[in-house]
Amino acid sequence: GPLSRKITTSEFASNVTATALSSTQAQAPSRTLEESSYLNDWIAYYSIEYPPHVNYMGRKMDDKYILNAAQIALSLAKYLGRNFNQQHVDMDQTDDSRRGDVSSCISCEDIRVGNVMVKNLDSGEAVLKRTNGAASSSSNTERRQVLALGIILYELFTQGEPPPRQIQQSLKSTGSVLSFGTSLRISESNEDGDDRVTSEGSRRKNKDEEGADDNSAQESFVRKQRRRRCDEGKEESVPTLLKRAGVPSSISRLISDMLSNRDDADFGGLFQYDKSVSCFDDVIMDLEQMIDQPKDFLYDTVRLSAKPTVRNKLYSRQRELERGNELARRSAAWRHQEEADGEEYFEAALETDGSSSVKQEVLLVSGLPGSGKSSLVNELIAQLRSNGWESLHCKFDQIRRRQPLSTIASAFSRLFSSLIGTESDCAGGSDENDTLRDIRAHLLKTFDEESFSILFHLIPDLRRVVSNDYNSVDVQQMEYDEFDHGNLGFDESTVVASKIKVHNLFYEILKAISSSRIIPIVLFLDDLHWADSASLELITFLINAMGANITTDSATAVRGTNVLIIGTVRTNEAENSSDMTEFLEKIRGCYNVTVTDMALQDLSPSDINGMISESLCYSQRLTRSLAGIVHHKSEGNPFFVKEFLNDLTVENLMVYSFSERSWEWDEELIESRTISDGVAEMLTRKLLRLPKDQLLGLVMLSCFGSDVSFEVLALVKTFCGNSDIMNTLDSIAKARFVERTDEKYRFVHDMILNAAQEALDENERINIMEELLQALLPHGYSDDTVLYIVVDLIARVGADRVHDSETRLLYAQLNLTAAKKATNTTDFASALTCVKCGISFLPADYWKNCYRLSLELFNQCILVDWALGSTEQMMASVDEVFSNANGFEDTLRAAMVKLACLRMTGNRISEAFAYGFQILEQFGESFPAAPETGIIVQELLATKQLVTGSQNESKLRSLPEMTDSKKLEAMAFLEEMLMCSYQSQSIYFPLIACRMVQITLQYGLAKTSCLGLSSVALSLVTVFGNFSEGYSVSKTSLSIAGSDKRVLCSIMVSSFGVINIWKEPIQAILPQLKDAYNLSLKYGLINTALCAGMFHAYRAFFTGSLLKPLNTEVSSYMRNNLERHKRRLMHLSMLPVSNGITCLSGSSGPQYVEELITEEHLAEALQNKEFTVCEAMLTVKMMCSFIFRRLDEIKVTARQYLELFERASGASAQFINIYRNFYGGLLSLHFYRESQEQFWMDRATHAIQKMELWTAESVWNFENKLFLLQAERHYAFGEMDLAAEKYKLAESSSKKHRFIHEEALACELAAAFHKEAGDKKNVAELIDRAVECYQTWGAEGKVKSILLSP
């Protein structure tokens, strides 16, 4: 044939070789292929090596031969295509005198393919050039070169068979010249023609107009050739010949289209269109697809279905995947450097971002329904799992009424089950999995029995992790009671705290997993727009906590949190949801959190072409026009594309020919097809084609939501007369509407679920739900999952459709049960929905006909409204209860919530007092309307006699438990009133505390008895200044606190923050206050935690804790308060400390305290009667002014406020009094030295007297301060020797008792004293010591001030 005839010339032998690169040459048959051989020899050799097969279906080429030949074909096509492009560009851009020299070269590596390499042995290059040397007379058009290449491929794939003579003649008649170097020539020169015009379908336009008429004539001839059928005359058609030779249909189509340039008649197709190939790009595209995916596009694989098979593959999302991996690397790179060394994945993480900022990464993937959000994230997770990640997949449901927090809890349960399963697989004598051991250790260290009880209920598989026995359901090491909704103590006073506690439990579990043996975690929140409010609150808490608890210890840590949080959101749903908008605003405002938005765009026509091509296993060249139509119809939505293709096959607009192994379609009919409602219309039409039993099964499944477990389905297995509904669902799964996993059925896509819900009219759906209710009702009380399904179905059926009175009461009772369970798991929104639904099923005169059920429903409604902050609705329900209750006892729960609401409203304290005392009066506990000081003192003295002394303390510890129900209720109201009086600094505080102790001594210990005792201790200290007895009673209260964490935290804050500071070294108390803060946060006791944080901040600041770490802690306290709880008074109380740290450390540049704490701030706090805030501001302002020696700026303020607070505090002892007296005394002595004004000496004398009193109680805490005040007084009186001695004592006492900042102050004041006295010998040494101490403290602002002073 032409190929063998041309390549056996001497030129080819010297210039172009085929070099075998395969390592299998040594195993060749008797005839071997030489190292350098001709291409026709290669064909001959491999025709013997891989001969065709012959069976009943005819001749079939060997797959290995076909693949190798395809690689050679691709190499030639790429080479010719590149050189044609370059030649065309050069010829267009140069003048005629240079066209004869045009050539283009590529390195031989570019044409290496498989086991064959084509190269020029002389130069090492392969050159494409014209051979006639006449630039003006001969030019190869791309179409004709493709035609010539088609002949080469014909002989290559038929193992040397020549193509039909008519094809060869068509090449000769075109005057085409194709030279491969000077060796591979398939040409017969036509010196008369200038063939420069490109073919129809070529990408480029010929800019040279010379010879236009000749070109047109030649093009006309080509078109005539294209329209002729190859089987006209004696020869058979090209497709027939190729098929007979055993060439795969895909190669046959390509070669035929390269050779034909005719219509589709050669293929005998039903629908005809021009598929001729006239450019190299199309050839390369076909061959690359065949080589990359030979099973689908090259070999004649038998297709079992005449429907498109859309692959589970992402199209055009590579950039998004790369971005997701980048965020994952940032999140995973938290570990210590020595742990990260040697692991490529984590080393890459360190190079991802050179910034030093540490953030919690959150990725939000948004898009319209069907845009592939979940598919993208699932692919990303699959890639991350290959790098050692674990995932928590939370799929939220549009049917929101499920077991509260079950979506998130189930994700944790599946992860633990997976880890346990992995460990079981790896068992067999090996050591326990390090990951599980670390997780268990972290959990056992973090949680107590009550916490485990809650967690075991929410996450059942956690029990097996903690038990260290993966095959057992019981905990072996510890005895835990089953979760009991009725005994958790979820009452009115702790309902809000319980929510924070549950949130903390989930956070600690997430932290335990992500920090154990460096397991990075992906938390995937799928369909966030359908998340219930409780889940959104929990997610917000987790994101905020992950960011807020990031530490940046650059010496040891790399960075990152080891958790990547990904959420998917439907754009249209999120825009219409206020809850979602609020959620997004909150997480974007979280500290140390970076939210990355990733909006998925529609697929392009080329992306859809790739998708359709792979679905049909058909070349992209052949599906290009169809893809354009589908893109127009689907607007680039991937799910729409899939359903549209399936719909075309169902309606026979696209058919597959098994005999020809080809697809056929009518583009005009497809183009004319109208779709009004998009994919929804198609899905509904598709469902209606199902058999009746399958359609009903699908609608039934949609009543449960996006998925349903086998356990639930087993309860309704005979639904609608089915012998087993799961058999029906299996049939539906084959149609790919749902999929079956190991534990459940789930819809393939939410849009199918929506279509199933709309497939039947409302009455038919209601009938299905009523049938499901009848089957599930018997199981609703014993299974929480079933209970929430039942109440959801009840709500959707509606009260208007249920007329039987007994059924209505049953439905109301079930909703009440569900509401209580939801309240216990802090899903207050779901609880409120259940309560409202339950009330709607009550009969008309419900208070008369079902009083107890009505009372319970309204009490529950009051509780959840209070928890949700719906005060107006709550008060309406309170009035409803008060108006219809049968007695005082039935109003107590409503009364307690009302009292708490009044107390926390802020401006209704007086109303709260009046209402609370009114309730207590009915318990027989009356209080005077306006108690005099004498009554308070008398009451305190009497109670002190009952609780002080070793015998009384022993008696208190041995008291029995209180059993009188009325007294227990009274104690609960007294506790609320105690908090109310403490909050308002009322004189009732000691009276209420004493009454609680007296009831305890008479009736036994209640859980709040220790609060009363602790409050008595506080009163002894602050009112009487009786530190020793108050300290003793405080320790007793701690000993009887019991296991109630709420009460214990309150006592810890009171004891360590207010009482023990007068007796114990204050540095030892600071860790106790930090523990109280963390414990209170852990159990959701926000007010107690904020109080503990404030106490810790002030005590740490004034006692000389290092400023830099303290600043981090104070910022955390303030941030948590502002972002989570927004307690204004707490924020104002913390501001002075924060400002003081800023001023002393110089962290924000040179700022003076008078700029941070102004006179206006003090006046505003005083006007608002925020005395504690005002005193704190004054004390910090005086401290910083004195340390920076800015004394003139503070003089007026000190004169105005010092005497005021002396009178206001009287005999009381508060922590802030210590430092107000200390720095106020130092300032007063300085001003007295200047002016000799008695006012200042009176203030100083008062301060010294207080310090003497306090030093008698604790030398450690107060001695150094007293010495310094005494030194300054001696200095003011001119008693220089005594002053020098006291300065020295102050310095040594400060050093001994570890008050480094006061040591610095003592040294600085002593230096000033000695300088003034003319004794300059020790001044420099004292200043150096002062600077050293200030530097150690972190007061860089003060250090700069000293160094800059003369």
Per-residue model confidence (pLDDT) at position 208: 39
Higher per-residue confidence, 988 vs 558: 988
Residues 6+ apart with CB under 8 A from 115: 20, 21, 22, 68, 71
Average pLDDT over residues 969-988: 86
Per-residue model confidence (pLDDT) at position 1127: 58
User: Would you put residue 316 in left (φ > 0), alpha (ψ -120 to 50) or beta?
Assistant: left
Per-residue model confidence (pLDDT) at position 84: 60
Average pLDDT over residues 931-960: 88
Distance CA 571, CA 526 (A): 13
Q: Which amino acid is at 343?
A: E
Residue 545 tokens read as 């906590």
Residue 1346 tokens read as 């000293």
Region of poorest pLDDT, from 188-197, 228-237, 1058-1067, 1159-1168: 188-197
Per-residue model confidence (pLDDT) at position 1245: 94
Got the DSSP string for 1071-1092? HHHHHHHHHHHHTT-HHHHHHH
Q: Tens digits of per-residue pLDDT, 899-914?
A: 888 877 766 788 888 9
Higher per-residue confidence, 1135 vs 885: 885
Per-residue model confidence (pLDDT) at position 1004: 93
Higher per-residue confidence, 680 vs 981: 981
Per-residue model confidence (pLDDT) at position 235: 56
Region of poorest pLDDT, from 276-290, 339-353, 1142-1156: 339-353
What are residue 113's phi and psi, to 5 degrees? -140, 135
Average pLDDT over residues 959-977: 92
* Residue 1270 pLDDT > 90: yes
Q: Tens digits of per-residue pLDDT, 294-320?
A: 988 888 777 767 778 877 788 888 899
| Band (225; pLDDT cuts 50, 70, 90) | very low
Average pLDDT over residues 1151-1157: 68
Q: Which amino acid is at 1332?
A: E
Average pLDDT over residues 973-977: 91
For 1148-1214, where are the alpha helices, taking DSSP H only?
Answer: 1153-1156, 1159-1167, 1171-1187, 1192-1209
Q: Tens digits of per-residue pLDDT, 346-402?
A: 444 444 444 446 788 999 999 988 888 999 999 999 999 988 888 999 988 877 555
Per-residue model confidence (pLDDT) at position 879: 93
User: Would you put residue 27 in left (φ > 0), alpha (ψ -120 to 50) or beta?
Assistant: alpha
Q: Note whether 1001 and 946 are within 8 A (CB).
A: yes
* Percent of the chain at pLDDT exceeding 70: 77
Higher per-residue confidence, 119 vs 57: 57
Residues 6+ apart with CB under 8 A from 298: 66, 67, 70, 248, 250, 251, 290, 291
Q: Tens digits of per-residue pLDDT, 1039-1096?
A: 888 777 778 888 898 889 889 989 999 999 999 999 998 888 777 777 788 888 889 9
* Residue 1310 pLDDT > 90: yes
* Residue 885 pLDDT > 50: yes
| Band (917; pLDDT cuts 50, 70, 90) | very high
Q: Note whether 1225 and 1205 are within 8 A (CB).
A: no
Of 799, 802, 780, the closest CA to residue 791 belongs to 780
What is the residue-averaged pLDDT of the chain? Answer: 77
| Band (198; pLDDT cuts 50, 70, 90) | very low
Q: Note whether 414 and 393 are within 8 A (CB).
A: yes
Q: Note whether 393 and 413 are within 8 A (CB).
A: no
* Residue 1171 pLDDT > 60: yes
Per-residue model confidence (pLDDT) at position 1148: 60
Distance CA 631, CA 640 (A): 10
Region of poorest pLDDT, from 527-541, 575-589, 1140-1154: 1140-1154
Per-residue model confidence (pLDDT) at position 1128: 63
Q: Tens digits of per-residue pLDDT, 1201-1252?
A: 888 887 766 555 578 889 999 999 999 999 999 999 999 999 999 999 999 9
Q: What is the 3-state secondary structure (H, E, C) of 151-196?
A: HHHHHHHCCCCCCCHHHHHHHHHCCCCCEECCCEECCCCCCCCCCC
Chain CA centroid to CA 1328, Å:
52
* Residue 1295 pLDDT > 60: yes
Q: Tens digits of per-residue pLDDT, 513-549?
A: 887 556 788 999 999 988 888 888 899 989 988 887 7
Torsion of CA 581, 587, 591, 595, to 10 degrees: -110
Per-residue model confidence (pLDDT) at position 644: 85
Average pLDDT over residues 573-600: 86
Q: Which amino acid is at 719?
A: F
Of 673, 700, 802, the closest CA to residue 759 belongs to 700
Q: Which residues share a beta bridge with 361?
A: 594
Q: Tens digits of per-residue pLDDT, 820-856?
A: 888 877 788 888 999 999 999 999 889 998 999 999 9
Higher per-residue confidence, 751 vs 565: 565
Of 1170, 849, 817, the closest CA to residue 985 belongs to 1170
Per-residue model confidence (pLDDT) at position 355: 41
Q: What is the 3-state secondary structure (H, E, C) of 184-247?
A: EECCCCCCCCCCCCCCCCCCCCCCCCCCHHHHHHHHHHHHHHHHCCCCCCCCCCHHHHHHHCCC
What are residue 937's phi and psi, to 5 degrees? -65, -45
Per-residue model confidence (pLDDT) at position 1130: 65
| Band (598; pLDDT cuts 50, 70, 90) | very high
What Cα–Cα distance (Å) separates residue 531 from each residue in 135, 361, 398, 509, 542? 72, 20, 8, 21, 15
Average pLDDT over residues 683-697: 85
* Residue 187 pLDDT > 50: no
Q: Which amino acid is at 359?
A: K
Distance CA 728, CA 691 (A): 10
Q: Specify which of 108-117, 715-724, 919-928 reaches the highest per-range mean pLDDT.
A: 919-928
Per-residue model confidence (pLDDT) at position 98: 33
Q: Specify which of 88-97, 392-401, 1247-1256, 1341-1350 reaches the highest per-range mean pLDDT.
A: 1247-1256
Strand (E) or helix (H) holding 478:
none
Residue 119 tokens read as 């190269």
* Residue 25 pLDDT > 50: no
Average pLDDT over residues 764-779: 89
Per-residue model confidence (pLDDT) at position 1212: 55
| Band (1153; pLDDT cuts 50, 70, 90) | low
Per-residue model confidence (pLDDT) at position 402: 58
Q: Tens digits of per-residue pLDDT, 461-519?
A: 888 888 754 444 344 333 333 333 333 334 444 666 677 788 888 888 888 888 755 67
Distance CA 1071, CA 1075 (A): 6
Q: Which residues share a beta bridge with 708?
A: 745
Residues 6+ apart with CB under 8 A from 910: none
